[in-house]
Amino acid sequence: MVRPAPPGRPVPFRQFVVKLHSRCDLACDHCYVYTMADQRWRNRPRTMSAAMLARTGERIGEHARRHQLDRVSVVLHGGEPLLAGVSDLGRAVELLRRGAAPVPVRMTVQTNGVRLDDSFLRLFDRLDVRVSVSLDGDRTAHDRHRRGPDGRGSHHRVEAALHRLTGSYRRLFNGLLCTVDLRNDPITTYRGLLAHRPPVVDFLLPHGTWSAPPAGRTSDPRQAPYADWLGAVFDEWYSGGGQPTRVRLFDEIIQLLLGGSSRLAGVGVSPVAVAVVETDGAIEMDDTLGTAHAAPGAPACTSTGTTSTPPSTSPASGPSRPGRPGSARSAVPATCTRSAAAASTRTGGAPAAASTTRRCTAPTCTGSSVTSAARCSGT
């Protein structure tokens, strides 16, 4: 059914992306959070506090009631939300729903799948939380980018998690998220995703700017390699006889072609109905501009790989920067996000002195202390 275009009045937010944990247990080189220009994750709490979760739920409820919404959607996001642990993740779901009541909340978790074991699945089954998993296709495609801090691929662990999810807990399976890489064969990638019979597939295009375009994108306007890649998938999907799964990007483009409206950011000109809430409570739009610009007050990389914060600016006071995972690399050195010796980086406490034990600042570090001369598992 074609969705009518929205009238010319403010559109309420219907989906809220809640950054439950700001760190990750993988070191994907196409991640928009850690490898791009915006480095504000360094100054944000690792996890969202119980008080912040409760207040977030209340604010969601206020918004939904004010705009007379019959339901809202919350996506638990990161970093990697499963790093919060079973107990804290369950508490987060309960606090958000309690705060938003009586408005019903459809809850989803977006995970890389590495930690998705039976304990989490039992929790999600009890609390009715849907599960979306990031998977870039077959082993070669997936492990090209989605590697652990030790450099090893994560495909075998994600496949094991999907096997558990699509077995006894298939009702919780919300879909797969795949970042496009032109080096991966489109048909092989698509069929690798279909092997898990996902209800929905989201194809994400890599981020890029005019000055730093995504891999394979040339200045020749006659060349459209990403359209060619997606076109091959579309032909396979459309000729599949009943389309075994929804491909959200294709669905939204078809909506526009039929005169309707899109609900997907970046497709069409419909108002974005998604708000992002960071671990410190900052409310933002979609994160894409973070791939191009460091927000005022965010740590800035130096040539030595350490970080510094402009002295006159508070990290929480900068304007919001709208994003989704992508693969364009910024000018920020990779070592900047993985140095354990950045004396001026804050990780929830005071800056560490150069010769003392301090918190590692690597995005893949979950909180262990290391000496100033050491490098943690996040490197």
Domains of the chain in sequence order: 15-277 (3.20.20.70)
Confidence at 29, pLDDT banded by 50, 70, 90? confident
Q: Considering only CA atoms, which of 328, 342, 278 is closest in space to residue 41?
A: 278
Query: Which residues are CB-neighbours of 225 under 8 A, at least 6 positions away?
Result: 182, 216, 217, 218
146-165 burial, b for 16+ CB within 10 Å, e for fewer? bbbbeeebbbebbbebbeeb
The one-character DSSP state at 214 is P
Q: Considering only CA atoms, which of 328, 332, 138, 326 is closest in space to residue 216?
A: 328
Confidence at 306, pLDDT banded by 50, 70, 90? very low
Cα–Cα distance, 267 to 247 (Å, whole number)? 14
What's the pLDDT at 143?
93
Confidence at 289, pLDDT banded by 50, 70, 90? low
Cα–Cα distance, 350 to 371 (Å, whole number)? 16
What's the pLDDT at 216?
84
Amino acid in position 309: T
Sign of CA dihedral 321, 325, 327, 330: positive
Confidence at 185, pLDDT banded by 50, 70, 90? very high
Which residue's entry shows tokens 């995970």? 111
Amino acid in position 5: A
Higher-scoring residue by pLDDT: 371, 40:
40
Q: From its phi and psi, is residue 348 left (phi > 0), alpha (psi between -120 and 50) or beta?
A: left
Q: From its phi and psi, is residue 103 left (phi > 0), alpha (psi between -120 and 50) or beta?
A: beta
What's the pLDDT at 362?
54
